[in-house]
Amino acid sequence: MGDLAILAYHSLDTSGSVVSIDPHVFARQMACAAELGFRGVSMRDAVAQRASDGTWPERSVVLTFDDGFANLHAEALPVLRRHGFTATVFLVSEYMGRSNLWETPPAGLGTRPVLGWRQAEELAEAGWEIGSHTRTHPDLRSLSAAQLEDEIAGSRAALEQRLGVAVESFAYPYGRYDARAETVAAREYTAACTTRLNRAGDESLFGLPRVDAYYLKDERAVRRLLTGKLDHYLTLRRWGRAVRRTLAGDPVAAKS
């Protein structure tokens, strides 16, 4: 099975925060992928092919957006439409139409609006996949069994009821999860994404790695990633992240 790059974006803005990518940089990254003959696809479509014939789609890159920032509608939608790409957006169901105050925002980001229901509908109408990112964006490892059900299964139910679409993909908030959370996710979804820094191969569909856009500051990095020339760099960064998290007393997160 060939490896597949699953990219993880958050906000498209010029703040310079750790979860932000300049919209102009994003546009150049997508143009680079198109020029290389790659197509941007959703998590759902990539997983469907793997389930049907055991391989990831060739010449493809999966585009995912966590948290559902409202700027995706203005900045990402027209760019992807221009190239005929689709994507997956992971929504926090209880924060739709509100702001990103499920936690203190990262330095520089500040309070930013989250997609409203009508904007999410328009993304779905444009071919985007709607995925779940829980109800309230908690660290799933800290929850009781009942709370896990509410956050993981409840968010899916809420999104499907409000948007009228099947919600098949899930992203663990902060990439943090344990066996209990994975069990619920596996029952409710067809795939779940982590924040483990790697291209996807033959991993479990409920522990899929992604490459955070933080490590792709320009189109040259995207070119290297898609042509397999960034793997050594990702290994070094993954090792560094694991060491830092372990030293901080978070060994479970270090695996994600």
pLDDT in tens, 118-170: 999 999 999 999 999 999 999 999 999 999 999 999 999 999 999 999 999 99
* Angstrom distance (rounded) from CA 42 to CA 151: 23
Q: What fold, for 5-254?
A: TIM Barrel (3.20.20)
Per-domain boundaries in the chain: 5-254
Per-residue DSSP letter, 93:
G
Contacts of 207 (CB under 8 A, 6+ apart): 182, 192, 194, 196, 256
- If you average pLDDT over residues 214-236, what whole number do you get? 91
State pTM to two decimals.
0.94
* Angstrom distance (rounded) from CA 147 to CA 153: 10
Predicted pLDDT at 251: 53
The structure tokens listed for 250 are 């978070």
Side chain identity at 31, as an amino acid letter?
A
pLDDT in tens, 20-51: 999 999 999 999 999 999 999 999 999 999 99
* Angstrom distance (rounded) from CA 60 to CA 54: 15
- If you average pLDDT over residues 239-250, what whole number do you get? 76
Pairing of strands 60-67, 39-41: parallel
Residue where the block lists tokens 């197509």: 39
The structure tokens listed for 138 are 């908690």
User: By C-alpha distance, which of 192, 180, 184, 174 is closest to 241?
Assistant: 174
Residue where the block lists tokens 């498209």: 12
Are residues 153 and 184 in contact, defined by beta-carbon separation less than 8 angstroms? yes
* Angstrom distance (rounded) from CA 72 to CA 79: 10
* Angstrom distance (rounded) from CA 142 to CA 148: 9
User: By C-alpha distance, which of 76, 96, 75, 93 is closest to 85?
Assistant: 76
Are residues 92 and 114 in contact, defined by beta-carbon separation less than 8 angstroms? yes
Task: Residue count of the chain, please give it.
Answer: 256
The structure tokens listed for 242 are 């694991």
